[in-house]
Amino acid sequence: MNYPNGIKKNLSINNNPIHTNINYGNRGMTLEGELNLTNEYYREIDKAYIYKKPTPIKITKVDYPSRDKAVIKEAFFTIPSTTDYNGIYNGKYIDFEAKETASKTAFSLQNIHPHQIHHIENIYKQKGIVFLIIRFTTLNETYLLRAKEFLDFINKEKRKSIPIHYFRENAFIIKDGYKPRIDYLRIIDTVYGGI
Amino acid sequence: MNYPNGIKKNLSINNNPIHTNINYGNRGMTLEGELNLTNEYYREIDKAYIYKKPTPIKITKVDYPSRDKAVIKEAFFTIPSTTDYNGIYNGKYIDFEAKETASKTAFSLQNIHPHQIHHIENIYKQKGIVFLIIRFTTLNETYLLRAKEFLDFINKEKRKSIPIHYFRENAFIIKDGYKPRIDYLRIIDTVYGGI
């Protein structure tokens, strides 16, 4: 598969991809961009209030050029202790992490920090609705993998990556749409039932 | 009331206080610091998973002094669209904003952004457990004001601040403790019942 309009390039900081203006073939938007649009749409129609958390940073230097303005002059990216997205859907707590991979064969677990795995475990035990959204960009397949199946894999397998067939057998495919782009709540309705 | 060990000084960016090392009398910790300890304690005992969101910023310049390191060289504080704290407690979605005021008479509504008020309204309609924690530092009184009573005030009153008597009559006082420091979930248990 070719990407005539763009070059696949992974830039990352602490395993968080930095989204540059790379055009992924004809889709032209990163998973993060599409999830932001999806969450905006859910808010517009009053369906759910789910937000991406700001990138965690440690600020070490701030300048005050004028009374009301502050400019951060030095800061560092820090490792997130939670997942990136959370919010509420019909009174229920929703929590997830979203990642893209260019691999055609597996999703590397190095993309998820140990802190985040621990967080997913905690939320799962607290009966929150917690999952991963993983997009295989080269295959153009996006999956919703529930915490249960994610944690099962980690606890049973010693592999450092989750093979694509595990997703095909244990995760739910999310079809691309227009509005919303990535209708993951439809999967939640079906999978978790009666929300 | 005097604060022999500290000077009351408010620094803020977009109405978010910047926490300096000011010592508030014998308490020696800001509300934010105490809430962080409280939430850590709740996590330790597996009671609830509630986190403060990172400060939202817009990054405009990043340097890469070496392959794996990134230094933010220019960034700006942006207005938050949500409240600062959210998470899960027994499967329920919890959401709140926390603010300190040095006033002895009222809490100025300028401390809460219009975006945040709108967010509180949305979460309330979605049946999330949403509230404010307001500390009157000079009076040494900390209140939990539920979204219902907060929104009632905003919708009925034209005043730009909520007088202390409104808190005394309509909010729940949170007593200082040792572990946890600010046991707001105890109020949640009582007020929202049967969680």
B53 touches chain A (CB under 8 A): yes
List, for residues A136-194, the tens digit of each pLDDT value.
999 999 999 999 999 999 999 999 999 999 999 999 999 999 899 999 999 999 988 65
Find the CATH number of the domain harbouring A77: 3.40.1350.10
Q: How crowded is residue B143: how many other Cβ atoms within 10 Å of its Cβ?
A: 22
Q: Residue A57 burial (CB < 10 Å; 0-12/13-18/19+)?
A: middle
List, for residues A33-67, the tens digit of each pLDDT value.
999 999 999 999 999 999 999 999 999 999 998 87
Instruction: Enter the tokens of residue A182.
Output: 């990535």
Asked if residue A115 is part of any domain, the answer here is: yes
Asked if residue B54 is part of any domain, the answer here is: yes
pLDDT of B161 over the 60 cut: yes
B93: nearest Cα among A56, A48, A82, A55: A48
Number of domains in chain B: 1
ipTM above 0.85, yes or no: no
Has this prediction a pTM greater than 0.90?
no
Asked if residue B27 is part of any domain, the answer here is: yes
To 5 degrees, how large is the angle CA B89–CA B137–CA B182?
25
Asked if residue B1 is part of any domain, the answer here is: no
pLDDT of residue B4: 36
pLDDT, chain A, mean: 87
Instruction: Give me the total of CB pairs closer than 8 Å, taking one residue from chain A and one from chain B.
Output: 104
pLDDT, chain B, mean: 87
Residues 6 or more apart in contact with residue A109 via CB below 8 angstroms: A154, A159, A160, A161, A162
Q: Where are the beta strands (DSSP E) in A30-91?
A: 48-52, 57-66, 69-77, 85-89
User: Which residues of chain A are within 8 Å of residue B119 when distances are taken between CB atoms?
Assistant: 49
pLDDT of A4 over the 60 cut: no
B60 touches chain A (CB under 8 A): no
Helix (H, G, I), strand (E, B) or coil at B39: helix
Residue type, A62: V
Q: Residue A178 burial (CB < 10 Å; 0-12/13-18/19+)?
A: exposed
Asked if residue B4 is part of any domain, the answer here is: no
User: Which residues of chain A are within 8 Å of residue B55 when distances are taken between CB atoms?
Assistant: 54, 57, 59
A84 touches chain B (CB under 8 A): no
pLDDT of A11 over the 80 cut: no
Q: Give CA torsion, residues A64, A70, A74, A77, to 10 deg.
A: 160
List, for residues B9-50, the tens digit of each pLDDT value.
344 444 444 444 444 444 578 999 999 999 999 999 999 999
Query: Could you list the residue range(s) of the whole structural domain that residue A108 is in?
Result: 12-192
pLDDT of residue B194: 53
DSSP state of A19: -
User: Which residues of chain B are within 8 Å of residue A88 when distances are taken between CB atoms?
Assistant: 93, 95, 123, 126, 128
Q: How far apart are CA B43 and CA A121, in angstroms?
A: 12
For residue A128, the chain B residue with the least C-alpha distance is B91
Q: String of b and e for B164-191 (b: at least 16 CB within 10 Å)? A: bebbeebbbebeeeeebbbbbbebbeee
A43 touches chain B (CB under 8 A): yes
Asked if residue A34 is part of any domain, the answer here is: yes
List, for residues B93-111, the tens digit of each pLDDT value.
999 999 999 999 999 999 9
Contact B123 A49 (CB under 8 A): yes
Asked if residue B94 is part of any domain, the answer here is: yes
- Cβ within 8 Å of B, A 110-149: 119, 122-123, 125-128
Asked if residue B7 is part of any domain, the answer here is: no
pLDDT of residue A71: 95
DSSP state of A101: E
List, for residues B39-64, the tens digit of each pLDDT value.
999 999 999 999 999 999 999 999 99
pLDDT of residue A192: 82
List, for residues A103-149, the tens digit of each pLDDT value.
999 999 999 999 999 999 999 999 999 999 999 999 999 999 999 99
Q: How far apart are CA A84 and CA B158, in angstroms?
A: 38
Contact A54 B56 (CB under 8 A): yes
Instruction: Enter the tokens of residue A144.
Output: 């919703």
pLDDT of residue A6: 35
Are B145 and B131 within 8 A, CB to CB? yes
B129: nearest Cα among B147, B112, B151, B152: B147
pLDDT of A86 over the 50 cut: yes
